[in-house]
Amino acid sequence: MKYALFIITTLLTFSTSYSQQVIISKMEKITPSQGSDHVFIRKAIESGKAEIKMGAAARSNSTNPEIIDFGKMIEEDHLVLNEKLRNIARQRDLEFSEQLSGESNFVYDKLKNLNGVGFDREFVTVMIKDHERIFDLFTHQAHDGKDMELKSFAKEALPNIENHLKQIKKIKLQIIQE
């Protein structure tokens, strides 16, 4: 029994030590200044993928012309933003999945199963929350980013993101009044 416990402890220690070495060796390849820029790229691409899918859902699940138009606009705008960002990522040898992450996929799955007024209310709530988060992400990058190209990209994108946020808040007020 003591021998088995010794083997299990040794294996866990080796496994943990090996995992830490792998993590450390991967971290050593990215300097701290690059790390925050890489996190920005990952989060911005993920947000963009989600906006594209949710914009398409708005066009097919809503009956409100303003939400349909907003969905089309964010789908088109985020396709352009994501393509620019992917080009920047490729220049830095970074690759990202085309699939949505767990949280984004969960929200999208919830939205795509709604229709009409139920869809509209949930969509508006999600879009406000997402665009506030995206605006904060891009603002932080524009002010605090280390990579000048990413910093410039974020600054150029901010007015468009702010416009999306203003428009969806305006749509929310109209939906409440109906």
Domain ranges, ordered by start, for the chain: 1-30, 32-177
- How much is the pLDDT for 7? 45
- How much is the pLDDT for 33? 46
- How much is the pLDDT for 145? 93
Sign of CA dihedral 113, 117, 120, 124: negative
- Over residues 80-138, the pLDDT tens digits come to 999 999 999 999 898 888 888 888 888 999 999 999 999 999 999 999 999 999 999 99
- Over residues 2-18, the pLDDT tens digits come to 444 444 444 444 443 33
Q: Rounded mean pLDDT of the chain?
A: 83
Q: What is the mean pLDDT of residues 44-63?
A: 95
CA nearest to 88, candidates 45, 130, 122: 45
Tell which wins on pLDDT, 150 or 8: 150
Give yes or no for residue 154 having a pLDDT over 90. yes
pTM equals 0.77
pLDDT band at 34 (very low <50, low <70, confident <90, very high): low
- How much is the pLDDT for 31? 38
Give yes or no for residue 57 having a pLDDT over 60. yes
The contacts of residue 54 (CB under 8 Å, 6+ apart) are: 71, 74, 107, 108, 111, 123, 126, 127, 130
Q: What is the mean pLDDT of residues 33-45?
A: 84
CATH of 32-177, one of 3.40.1280.10, 1.10.3080.10, 3.40.190.10, 1.20.1260.10: 1.20.1260.10
Helix (H) or strand (E) holding 132: helix 116-144
- The structure tokens 């866990």 sit at 12
Q: What is the mean pLDDT of residues 71-82?
A: 96
